[in-house]
Structure 1
Amino acid sequence: MSQFNSISDLLHESGAQFRIFDMGRRISKISSGQFEKLEQGMIPYPLPYLHHAWLALMLWNNKDKQQNVVWFLKFPLDEQGFLVQAVRDDFLNRLMQNISQMLQKENLDQNNDALKDNPFSFTPDQEKMAMFHAQSATIIQQPASQFYTGTKAYFSGDLGWENWSTLGYQGIADLAARLDEDNNNAYLLNAIPHLPAEPLRALCTCLEHVEPDHRIAKALLSRLQEQLQTDPDETGNTNLVAALLRGLSNIHNEELKKATIHQTLTSSYAAKAEVMAAIATRCNLSLQYPDLLSLYLEKLAVSEAGQTGFSRILADLMFIPMMRILILQAFRNPQRSEELSAAIGLMFGTSFEHSTKN
């Protein structure tokens, strides 16, 4: 079998249908053209997370969609956010060793060990894996999981809102991935005001991967506003606030998102590390507004995340080129607090902290 010069070449020559997804902050599609530019070093990776590109490559046989395979790949990025060519080449060389027979076989399912012992493969967490399975099933027009019917019955309200313990997370993911089917959007609108914390949290961690409409967004916002009035030190409350922020993070209404984040940052929940991490990892696009970013930085500097959390969260955000520029500008704000100045100094050194005052 001939050697391929890029992953794109391999995908195109495989004869299979394929889709490429980013798996970092949320599941989102990457076009084949965009991926080719990433591989050629023409553009930086658009969605870096923890200094890596997190990818899912989904391949299937168009004549028999039961024949499919997914590769989850994690590649380090250079200091400018570009894919490291040598790493990509190393991956391809290892892959060729494992799948030398791949293109001669018709059944893609026989090649699920293609990434065996490959250091660039990873396994998504269970929540993200469930949502990926749900979305991929809709792409290749496969039925939802066995949990889907029971989940629809619960969210319709027919079973009683407290009877959620037998729900499968996969069923909730299936429902979130099929909002335009089976009256599911209406079921959610009916259910959200009544859901107990646990199924509401699970629903929100699925909705962050899709684009809920404005009605669902308003229903989630109402629950969040209620939750912000509760005691953040009471068990489970912080987890639910963070989950609701995640559920709202991919809605279209940017003004609503900004207002939601501002309301959260001016509540007692701004002190909680999990809430601050949810905003940074899922709502980072909203932090491109200077006033909101300045408020976020001030709250992060005095939050329970501590100096370690402050440094880790900002190191990840600053890997995104636009966010790096905006954060450095915010650091130079002469009106910043002493607490923020101290956190900056501990992260970068006192010489950097002093230079931002000049």
Structure 2
Amino acid sequence: MQINTLSEFLTQAGTEFRLYDLGRRLQPLNHDDFAAIEANQRPYPWPLQRHAWLAVCYWQQQHKAQPYVWFLKLPLDERGLFNNGAIKHFLAALVEQLGQDVTAELTDEQQQRLAQTPFTFQPTQDKLAAFHARLGLDLTLPPSVFFQGVRDYIQAPEQHDWQQLGLQGLADVTARLQQDNALSQPLADRLLELPQPVQDALLTQCEHQPLPSVVIERLLGAITTELERQQPNQERIAQLLRATAGSPTSGERQQKIATLLALAPSQPLMLSLAARLWQDLTDETLLLNYLEQLAEHHGELFNGLFAELVSLPALRPLILGNLHNTALSARLKNALGSLFSGTS
């Protein structure tokens, strides 16, 4: 039987598998959606730089505690559909190295050859930690050995040395906040009082996980506090907002974004919205406001960020449907005109 898709390959090999997107932020991708994407029935939902950045985790049922993982960077065409030629190329390389047994032990030389294909990538350390934390949770596996140390630290920071904390433990704690009420409240109470390196690591991990409402409220409240300062720290505001990105869109967050866009938005904010919080821009009013502010204050970023946003299937029809909107400002019309005429 000819095998043309990753799903077919993994199924024929007798494995179970899970898929996660690691492009803009960590997101699970369910089997039905992936099958439709592989069949070119729908575009990839979260493209980044015209690629799908996938973590493919698979295991034999009797060895669930020892899953295998591939990190794949798969090219997409101009419509956001999988490049089938690239998929077949990668599958051919897999078969060459693994045969039909995807759980076979690879020699160092085989691993290096597979890693040298143009379809693999190495995630950043923060995304890798977030991924392993979510995977362990989804497969009901125990957290890492660093988890308890971070949990103890959150409960009583003054009794522990933060420099002994492990990144994977911070990721494990963050991934479990939504289901651990005994941990989410103390973290919400103390998060923004912790040493800056711990805060930064936890806030970065929060970007990739759904958070309980008590933590989200604390983060959005901290943005308000920062805005009230004589000289608000724009990097800090973007960091706090970004930390809520792994949680579903809410009216409170969209209102906060609208407020920030009305205050001559900073470059860090504009980059964060495109990279992590694009789902909030599915609100057409926010989207148009974003594009107006981008053209008004950050023209040098306009072409690149517009290209990334219009590649997202959730935003593409909204953007294209407003290209000839007569209510657009002259500056935005000029930015769009320059973009499509190839001038700057």
TM-score, normalised by the number of residues in structure 1: 0.85
Give the aligned partner of residue 248 of structure 1.
Answer: 244
- 2:332 matched to 1:325? no
Structure 2 gap segments, 5+ residues each? none
Preserved CA contact (<8 Å) 2:98 2:106: no
Give the aligned partner of residue 70 of structure 2.
Answer: 71
SS of the residue 1:312 aligns to: helix
Preserved CA contact (<8 Å) 1:300 1:310: yes
User: Identity of paired residues, percent?
Assistant: 32
Q: Report the CA distance shift for 1:205/1:181 in structure 2 as closer, same or farther (over 3 A).
A: same
Preserved CA contact (<8 Å) 2:192 2:199: no
Letter in 1 for 2:257: I
Give the aligned partner of residue 32 of structure 1.
Answer: 31
Letter in 2 for 1:291: T
Structure 1 gap segments, 5+ residues each? 354-358
Give the aligned partner of residue 16 of structure 1.
Answer: 15
Q: Report the CA distance shift for 1:167/1:346 in structure 2 as closer, same or farther (over 3 A).
A: farther
Preserved CA contact (<8 Å) 2:97 2:114: yes
- C-alpha distance in 2, partners of 1:101/1:330? 50
Alignment of 1:223-234 (within 5 A): 223-230=222-229
Give the aligned partner of residue 305 of structure 2.
Answer: 313
Letter in 2 for 1:274: P
Compare 279-288 and 333-342 and name the one that shifted more: 333-342
- C-alpha distance in 1, partners of 2:165/2:255? 33
Give the aligned partner of residue 356 of structure 1.
Answer: none
Give the aligned partner of residue 336 of structure 1.
Answer: 328
Q: Report the CA distance shift for 1:253/1:281 in structure 2 as closer, same or farther (over 3 A).
A: closer
- C-alpha distance in 2, partners of 1:260/1:92? 45
| Of 160, 166, 169, the match for 2:167 | 169
Give the aligned partner of residue 47 of structure 1.
Answer: 46
Give the aligned partner of residue 259 of structure 2.
Answer: 263
- 2:340 matched to 1:348? yes
Give the aligned partner of residue 216 of structure 2.
Answer: 217
Residues 12-37 of structure 1: CA deviation (Å, up to 9, x unaligned): 12222211111122212112222122
- C-alpha distance in 2, partners of 1:192/1:333? 44
Deviation at 1:346? 2.6
Q: Report the CA distance shift for 1:182/1:61 in structure 2 as closer, same or farther (over 3 A).
A: farther
SS of the residue 2:243 aligns to: helix
- C-alpha distance in 2, partners of 1:266/1:69? 47
Alignment of 1:179-190 (within 5 A): 179=177, 180-181=179-180, 183-190=182-189
Preserved CA contact (<8 Å) 2:40 2:81: yes
Give the aligned partner of residue 293 of structure 1.
Answer: 287
Compare 111-120 and 250-259 and name the one that shifted more: 111-120
Alignment of 1:40-119 (within 5 A): 40-100=39-99, 102-103=101-102, 105=104, 115-119=114-118
- C-alpha distance in 2, partners of 1:332/1:160? 61
Number of aligned residues? 342
Preserved CA contact (<8 Å) 2:43 2:313: no
SS of the residue 2:114 aligns to: coil
SS of the residue 1:302 aligns to: helix
Residues 33-78 of structure 1: CA deviation (Å, up to 9, x unaligned): 2212211112211222222111110012332345321101111111
Deviation at 1:231? 6.3
TM-score, normalised by the number of residues in structure 2: 0.88
